[in-house]
Chain A
Amino acid sequence: MMPSTHDWINCPLGVVEGMFAASQNNPNSGWEAKAVEFFKNQLKEKDAHTWVPSLNDVPLHYLKPNSLVKFRCFIQDMFDPEFFMGVYETVDPSTKAKVLRCGKYKDVTECGVDFNSSNTVTAERQTFYCVPIPGENPWVKESYASTSQARVVPSTSYAPTRQKRSYEEDDDDMDTQPQKQREPHAGPQSPTEHHGNGDCKRQETEAPSNQTASASHLDLNFPLPGEKGPSCLVKVYEDWESFKLNDLLEVYGILSVNPALSALADEKDTSSSIQDPTECMETAEEQRVHSPPASLVPRLHMLYARPLPHNNPLLPCTTVEDNSAFLSSSLSEMASVRAELLAYFTHILLGDALAAEYLILHLISNVYTRRDVLPLGKFTLNLSGCPTAASYTERFYQIIQQLVPSSYYLGMSLQNMNQMRLVPKKDYVANRLVSGALQLARNTSLFLDETQLEQGQLDTTGVRNVTALGNLISWQKVDYDFNYHQMEFPCNINVLIVSEGRSLLPSDCQIHLQSQVTAPQLEEYLSSIHMHPQSSSQLNKFRIYLCMARQLDYNISDEMTKSVEEDFVDMRKDDPQSVSAEDLHRMLVVARLLSLSLGQTSLSRDSWLRAKHIDMLRRSRMEQHKCVNGNEP
């Protein structure tokens, strides 16, 4: 008998326990695998996953404890594995009847555990500390929220208990006014539901104050400053070796907010005298970090996790293979979208079409593989010659922000460089990895604004930060600081440096902006950029385009290989100094990105020539600039 939809979302533990009970007669039933399989199958059904409420959009206090929820998140830290009672026996104090219970997917056992039962099974699980995807842009959040709420409508069939009602109300709320979901609700409602609505309002106002109060003494350890959102302790039951730090996941799991978990810390102090002294051995900080109040950091017992190849809500979130139908249908459109995007960027980049071309290439770049230490496919762009007037760089960033799923603006001011924590560092007292701004998810756009740099001295932290940025750009890795040693974490971050002169950081490619706008007109021009509203359908087209181009496969035919080789030899023949191995490296990357940007999955003669051509243009521009500006290296 299959449990109905609402059972598996509302009461997943019931499903698990049912399977556990059924397996008792049959020791080799493998019920655990079956349970996981069951949820996987349920979620596979069309749109089933959108019925599951998401921790990202629904405030925690609206969610029903022990229900199935999903969470789109980023693994920020991995805690130690823990042992728990997988199966245990309870004794009823009055009847002395013993019952076997399942401890999986739960934090707290039932009353009356028999510790000496021979039926106890100890199992192991791993805890990940997960935060929302760092730097995820508002349009992504909104878009995910809107797709999810549209289908939560069937939830009206919930039994009308108070708690559920408020949640359900919230859903209705979002249904009608997605953009206002955080605001107190004022829409017309039927009078019968008015009570629930008021309740909801009250909770809404309470929640934020709660959050700030507790957050003040509990650092949620978000990689980027100023981030908001729930963080979560995800308990992983199987296959945790396959997850890596900084992975993007969509976790489906059972929400646990048992107050007993958070009560732990408070009761410790009062009852420590009669408690086992070893249990108090953890420092207060460690306690706080590893068992934070469940109301603030809920626990999520993972049933199923889907690794996210990207966090673009407009694209189906499956692997490339499953996606091929979608991809091939849009491939034909890519060239036209590219032209539109190019025009748009040219406009933004003060009429410089070449820079716009390079910007597109940069935005679709991706480290697709590594050859020993060498990351291939990275394309760090240094856009020099940016006007400092009229906060051009900030506006520029805002536009990028509208187009990519996650991004971060790092103003390279002296203060930021000297004070910010870029590299994650292990805090051994609290036993956690204190995050830094460079702990970013795959394909995050990091926007380095060097125009903010002023004269002054970098201190030790500053030097370290600049070195870290340099390493990130050159090797696409960040050396996390573990105090006694460093540990290298490979990353895949698109770094865009805007600067006046040549950047002090290394880059794969530098292009000097040639403004078609004269200085006096600049102010006016810039304000008009903002006045140039893109229709949302067009923005969406761009968003899809950028993500898709990145996902395409690419190859070079033997023929093209030969022809590229010939070309290289010829170029060297004319002037060996002009083209080095490094230049060839870059041109190959440019050719790759250029082909992909046009929706071509293999290198064509045309693309190669075009790549050569734009690289030549770029270089001649640099030569030119060098002559004008003698002190440039």
Chain B
Amino acid sequence: MDSAGKSSPILGCYWSKVPRENNVTGSFAPDLQQLVRTHKRRYLGNNVFPNIDSRWPQTRTELQPSHPSEGPTSPPSQRRKGQDSSNGDLMPMPTSPATDMLSPAAPQDTSLFSSPRPSVPPNEVDMSSPLMYGTPSSRVEGTPRSGVRGTPARQRPDLGSPSTDGAVASEPNAGQRLVIWGTDVNVGTCKEKFQRFLQRFIDPTSKEDENAGLDLNEPLYMQKLEEISVVGDPVLSVNCLHVQSFDAELYRQLICYPQLLRRLPTDIDQLITISGMVIRTSQLIPEMQEAFFQCQVCAYSTRVEVDRGRIAEPAVCRHCNTTHSLALVHNRSVFSDKQMIKIQESPEDMPAGQTPHTTVVYGHNDLVDKVQPGDRINITGIYRAVPMRVSPIQSSVKSVYKTHIDAIHFRKTDEKRLHGLDEDAEQKLFTEDRVQTLKELAAKPDVYERLSSALAPSIYEHEDIKKGILLQLFGGSRKDFSQTGRGNFRAEVNILLCGDPGTSKSQLLQYVFNLVPRGQYTSGKGSSAVGLTAYVMKDPETRQLVLQTGALVLSDNGICCIDEFDKMSDSTRSVLHEVMEQQTLSIAKAGIICQLNARTAVLAAANPIESQWNPKKTTIENIQLPHTLLSRFDLIFLMLDPQDEAYDRRLAHHLVSLYYQSEEQMEEEFLDMAVLRDYIAYARTYINPRLSEEASQALIEAYVDMRKIGSGRGMVSAYPRQLESLIRLAEAHAKVRFSEKVETIDVEEAKRLHREALKQSATDPRTGFVDISILTTGMSATARKRKEEVAQALKKLIQAKGKTPCHEIPAAAR
């Protein structure tokens, strides 16, 4: 986990949550305003976020009265107010920050302040957030450490560490000169910077889909704040990359602050972002924040904060001086929500041969139940380490720290996959160098050949098949015609390999499966329709019905490799009809009716029915697959033993060298698998070619030509499906070149490849002509013609014979 990227943490700033009625009733009602700060104290960390932290308490105290919902019915806030007033020595605080905040003339700010809605002054942050180790200054009363209060800035540190003898560098009561304890980070400057950031930041790289409805030329976060004030969302998410680009110093402070006292391994107590998969979530844990005690004698009540997991029960009632008369009243104590979440490294980022690591994450309050097991998420949070005590009695300590992450923000990376393409999940982060190498590679004139030969180098020749698979790996451009009612156009290229057994079809499939990040490998023999699509099962833990997705759905945006396609049962195969053209999967099972995305490219392999390919038969006759399915494959290749001497020789050489060449020698000859993988990922993510004018012309011509070939002999030799295939292939070829435009050369290659595939699979064995109707209707035109001729001849024969009562013959001829 330590190596997790810190490149773009998403920071959620918490806004003071509106106390809602339901929050203040039950005993579990968390006091959202104060929350986890006690919990905080246990951490080694002296925590993060100086910039946001120090000013919130003051603004909040100002705000409280303006909450209409807070009335006498709301004990927490009531109590707070009472305490506020009792804390005379803290009063200087509200003043200075207030001026601060409003200083750079921000009309929105003021307007928000005055609005009756609790809404979001930008600088108000929920104390409940774990990152807010700063307690509301007013709440220190009653804790044993109240002696140190006096300077607002000192209250945070004492939360971070039990020691109070540290270097306190703050200067009392000087808002502008406040620094974060232990550092020289000036609170005032930070505040100003952050404010400036919020008010002025305009995202130069913003994409429309991300910020729909926002004016890109206006400050981004001010607009978001307005939106938030309407929605009542307690959180403003700030992209830390934006902070970084706006003010690198502020970013550094945000990430690194603070590293004092200890020389800790690099990431402890820093803000980090890691990606992973949720594997387990605990139940909601109510964590006591403040215990409520009532005297049995005089009914005097007092509150004690939880300090490092313990409650110091008052021994003497302060009011009536009776000893041991105080009893804990559970339902008036204050609890906060907490949830333990276990995450595991994503399988993609794993070094080979190791098991994935897991890390504990704590989610608080609104983050509780935000994620489910199985979710892929990015977590931004503070990495913590706590020493473990063997027991409170023993003084020796297990010298191990417990580590966990206090989550601040979850971002699901697969959230959008159900609905649309998730660009982020795909977006592997490429280093500058890597991109440079890839671009250099793309600029080479023979990149197409290079890549195709790098594909499965252990498999000999079959260049066109490898090229086809290469284009499949890149895929076409996604087009959306849903507005005009035609839905999405398939961008994936489907390929069927048929041929003699033992021509390394399976090996090719295995290779592809290993190459692509989201690949699935199934065998037609072993898979059922449910295994491919989805099935409903009872979750053993929750006892709820859950939909378990099968191979096709799992390989959404990837490639589904199906071996022994011919051995698949008909019912299973019928599932593929929808997937291979509409790219969706409709399910109606156990009361669940839904449509799942299955934008998967299918790479299938089939063996001929007679175990050896019969060249005298058509493809359909050889593999006995319904033509409705076959026509959905863009390319159908035959993998046959060519049986010629030169080929044999080259094959032998290839195989022998496979067995004696050293690893290095092989590497020299071929591109590294990792480079290929990156190349494909990069092209798939960033390159989205469009047809150029010439290319469309070329495509039209190609299609017309294909139609012409057939019309000469009175048959149809191409259908619109073939045109679509051509377009996809051309686009994929443009992607290989990293070109944003599909040009004539792409169309040429697409035509060539398509023709090659047709030549192999749609050649009529009787005439030697390519006849697409073999694949589209299951019967070649000549075969049909002959059938008709036979029928005709028989008819004639019968008529010539006169009135012979021979009815069997015409019946048979039919």
Contacts and interface: CB of A to CB of B under 8 A. Distances in A.
Contact of A582 (B385, B391, B404, B502): B502
A77 B355 contact: yes
Q: Which secondary structure dominates where chain A touches chain B? A: mixed
B396 A260 contact: yes
Given A244-B353, A281-B340, A561-B660, A83 B310 contact: no
A473 to B, nearest CB: 13
Contacts of A109: 396-399
A488 B310 CA distance: 46
Interface string B290-317: 0000000000000000001110000000
Given A482-B356, A584-B652, A271 B391 contact: yes
A267 B504 CA distance: 60
Nearest to B503: A581
A261 interface: yes
Given A372-B673, A373-B514, A463 B656 contact: no
Given A475-B510, A585-B655, A565 B390 contact: no
Given A124-B2, A261-B398, A275 B351 contact: no
A428 B280 contact: yes
Given A561-B660, A572-B645, A585-B655, A108 B673 contact: no
Contact of B645 (A115, A569, A588): A569
B265 A120 contact: no
A580 interface: yes
Contact of A275 (B385, B392, B649): B392
A512 B502 CA distance: 22
B400 A84 contact: yes
Interface residues of B, number: 90
Nearest to A592: B659
B436 interface: no
A248 B505 CA distance: 35
A376 B659 contact: yes
Contacts of B22: none
Residue with the highest number of chain B CB atoms closer than 10 Å, among A85, A373, A555, A588 = A373
Given A463-B526, A487-B347, A277 B401 contact: no
Contacts of B42: 276, 278
A556 B391 contact: no
B606 interface: no
B394 A260 contact: yes
B723 interface: no
Interface in B519-563: 526
A568 interface: yes
A108 B399 contact: yes
A523 to B, nearest CB: 40
B481 to A, nearest CB: 34
A483 interface: yes
A112 B503 CA distance: 71
Contact of B402 (A261, A279, A565): A279
A108 B396 contact: yes
A554 B387 CA distance: 54
A84 B400 CA distance: 4
Nearest to A580: B502
Contacts of B457: 371-372
Interface residues of A, number: 85
A247 B677 CA distance: 28
Nearest to B161: A116
A623 interface: no
Contact of B652 (A271, A274, A485, A564): A564
B651 A581 contact: yes
B395 A561 contact: no
A110 interface: yes
Contact of B282 (A107, A121, A281): A281
Interface stretch (B357-365, B444-452, B734-742): B357-365
A298 B394 CA distance: 21
Contacts of A106: 399
A387 B308 CA distance: 71
A431 B355 contact: no
B262 A122 contact: yes
Given A108-B398, A555-B660, A124 B265 contact: yes
A21 interface: no
B511 interface: yes
Contacts of B514: 372-373, 488
A260 B398 contact: yes
Contact of A565 (B166, B389, B653): B653
Given A369-B663, A565-B652, A122 B265 contact: yes
Nearest to A261: B398
A113 interface: yes
A399 interface: no
Given A115-B387, A116-B162, A122-B264, A276 B308 contact: yes
Nearest to B508: A373
Given A81-B357, A467-B526, A487-B347, A581 B460 contact: yes
Contacts of B648: 568-569, 572
B244 interface: no
B659 A588 contact: yes
Contact of B268 (A83, A118, A426, A474): A83
Contacts of B660: 554-556, 561
Interface in B616-641: 641
Given A83-B385, A565-B652, A580-B641, A112 B398 contact: no
A568 B1 CA distance: 52
B594 interface: no
A267 B398 CA distance: 14
Contacts of A261: 398
Interface in B357-410: 357-360, 362, 373-374, 385-404
Contacts of A589: 659
A19 B417 CA distance: 57
B170 to A, nearest CB: 19
B263 A122 contact: yes
B507 interface: yes
B659 A556 contact: yes
Interface string A272-296: 0011111101000000000000000
Given A241-B351, A276-B42, A376-B658, A116 B261 contact: yes
B456 interface: yes
Interface string B231-271: 00000000000000000000000000000011111001000
B698 interface: no
A274 B313 CA distance: 12
A271 B390 CA distance: 11
Residue with the highest number of chain A CB atoms closer than 10 Å, among B362, B388, B652 = B652
B99 interface: no
A111 interface: yes
Contacts of B653: 561, 565
Given A274-B392, A429-B280, A482-B347, A83 B401 contact: yes
Interface string A478-505: 0000111101111000000000000000
B205 interface: no
Contacts of A617: none
B264 to A, nearest CB: 5
A121 B340 CA distance: 28
A371 B458 contact: yes
Contacts of A582: 502
B395 A111 contact: yes
A426 to B, nearest CB: 8
A263 interface: yes
Contacts of B347: 482, 485, 487
A475 B510 CA distance: 9
B265 A275 contact: no
11 contacts: A108-B399, A116-B261, A260-B394, A263-B390, A271-B391, A275-B389, A275-B391, A277-B287, A369-B663, A554-B660, A561-B660
Closest 3 CB pairs of A and B: A244-B353, A568-B652, A556-B660
Given A85-B401, A245-B353, 9 more contacts: A80-B1, A82-B401, A107-B400, A116-B161, A124-B2, A372-B511, A489-B353, A564-B652, A565-B656
